[in-house]
Amino acid sequence: MRIDDEAIGAFAVRYLTSLGNFSSFVYVPERGRAYYSLLREKGFRNALRAKGLQARDIKLSDLPICSYGTEDELKEIFDTLSASCLLFPEEEGLREEREGLVDFCTRSGIKPLVVPTVEEIAPGNRINGKIREVKIEDLLGRNEIKISMEEITANFKGKVVMVTGAAGSIGSELCRQLAGFGVKRLVLFDNAETPMHNIRLELEEKYPGADFVPVIGDVRQVQRLDFVFREYRPQILFHAAAYKHVPLMEENPCEAVLVNVYGTRNVADKCIEYGVEKMVMVSTDKAVNPSNIMGCTKRLAEIYVQSLGLAIERGEVKGGTRFVTTRFGNVLGSNGSVIPRFREQIAKGGPVTVTHPEITRFFMTIPEACRLVMEAATIGTGNQIFVFDMGESVKIDTLAHRMIELAGLKVGEDIDIVYTGLRPGEKLYEELLSTRENTLPTSHERIRIAKVREYEYSDAVKVVSELESLSRTVNVKDMVVLMKRTVPEFKSRNSRFEGNYVLWRIFGLQMFNCTIAEPSRATLWYTYDIEMNDCTIDGPKSFRETERAVLNRCEFTNALETFWS
């Protein structure tokens, strides 16, 4: 616990009549002083009464302060007053004390609470309706991101903006923020009927004068996309439609390619055809050195979009659309993510399932991610891949423990944590997105530009077309091989696609004194007229669908099958 002799924190011991008949400690960080003055100015003088020990002759807005220097002194204050909760006046102070006061609360059976911002409170309103228990998202979030609101508003105000995947976690938050920027019309495009219905009702209630157009459609349907572009003529497009769940896409790779790669090509091509000013694609940290099908499909989508933009820049393709890509990690509370899953498991009494005790992930709140997407869309001049500063990685096991403690339970007594093993395509650690070695700076301290390999547009078109054909015929084998050939850094983990073929579709090759070590699938595949002399092959499988192979003095070690098909 972070406590020094000068007392890190000071407590104002309060009764808030609107909370009920229990005492509450209100943690007052340095910046919280203005909070109390504003509360009193807004008519809450009678709602605040002092009670308890006064360690020093200190007052804040005429109310006494209790201070502490050690954890024992802190415990004495709570015990003397029989306090049952600790009320934080702001989320920033709460996050600063996640390893201090919040940890003390969870260990001591004291319920941590957080109140709304001053701006959310008006005289006459009951504050207890807004006070809530501390959630794990409060502790994982970071201080408010500073963005250029004037520039962002000017960038979107009075324009027709379209969002694909508008009913999803990121897409719906983009719509919420865009609605507040005074856009001329907001076109919501998604294939999920019920979530689309819900976000439409929400936006119409919050912004009754705004123009919202909900469109049910699929990025794989070119004709439907063409109708939307032709009918509504978007000027700016945010492309958030994607399949994102790693294990599920590992099991359904063809659908991942059709939506994430082919679908992105459809959207980008329509942007060119209908003169969209800027297309902003939402990508993922899993596109960096991908270890799964989903991550590789997002990298392939990045490749197509960036190569198209570069082709326009060089005059190889006619058009004026600028393409911007944004990469970030996991977002807190998104549909199907770990936090809602843990919350559901805790509510049922457990067990809470964690794949591996050492697995870590980077997290960002959904509003935070979307604000950075808006900022990147504003500062982006085209053909850049922006990466966001994701902060420190979080150990998922620690996350599970903390969520259980916040629920007032104890691990091993009230509820168990069970380790289930890594899922298909999953790795222990995600790649660090932003380092000075692999990025360039921008005008925003939390946004950098990724240094990535550039591809020729003609090559990208050929690959995407072939991938589309292979995925439609469900030719998984050739499709994955093409993906790995196009994105050489794609190395499957915990997957049926793990490993590589050393030689593939080779004709008329002579090999002398070669050693091939540990090919986990096959050494030669679709090879013809091969001559191998004095070679050593160490691996479980050696030849697949190979014809006219001449082997002289070759040694096979650890071979489960020498010739197989």
In SS3 terms, 511-563 reads as EECCEEECCCCEEEECCEEEEEECCEEECCEEEECCEEEEEECCEEECCCEEE
DSSP 8-state secondary structure symbol assigned to residue 146: P
pLDDT tens for 271-317 read 999 999 999 999 998 998 899 999 999 999 999 999 999 999 999 99
pLDDT for 560: 42
pLDDT at 4 over 50: no
Q: Comparing 448 with 509, which gets the higher pLDDT?
A: 448
Give residue 24's pLDDT band: very low, low, confident or very high (50, 70, 90): very low
pLDDT tens for 40-77 read 444 333 332 333 334 444 444 455 456 666 778 777 77
DSSP 431-493: PP---TTTEEE-SSTTEEEE------HHHHHHHHHHHHHHHHTT-HHHHHHHHHHHSTT----
pLDDT at 13 over 60: no
Q: In angstroms, rounded to a whole number, what is the distance separating the alpha carbons of residues 50 and 170?
A: 44
Lowest-confidence segment of 14-23, 208-217, 405-414, 449-458 by average pLDDT:
14-23
pLDDT tens for 221-258 read 999 999 999 999 999 999 999 999 999 999 999 999 99
Give residue 392's pLDDT band: very low, low, confident or very high (50, 70, 90): confident
pLDDT at 32 over 50: no
Average pLDDT over residues 154-160: 93
Asked if residue 292 lies in contact with residue 426, where contact means CB atoms within 8 angstroms, the answer is yes
How crowded is the C-beta side of 164, counted as CA atoms within 13 Å? 31
pLDDT for 39: 42
Average pLDDT, the chain: 78
pLDDT tens for 434-488 read 565 577 777 787 788 888 888 999 999 999 999 999 999 999 989 998 999 999 8
Q: Comparing 463 with 550, which gets the higher pLDDT?
A: 463
Nearest to 365 by CA among 330, 398, 332: 332
pLDDT tens for 143-152 read 656 667 788 8
pLDDT at 137 over 60: yes
pLDDT for 66: 60
pLDDT for 38: 42
Average pLDDT over residues 257-267: 98
Give residue 216's pLDDT band: very low, low, confident or very high (50, 70, 90): very high
Q: Comparing 130 with 172, which gets the higher pLDDT?
A: 172
Q: Is 75 a catalytic residue?
A: no
pLDDT at 430 over 80: no
The one catalytic residue in 159, 244, 286, 427 is 286
pLDDT at 36 over 60: no
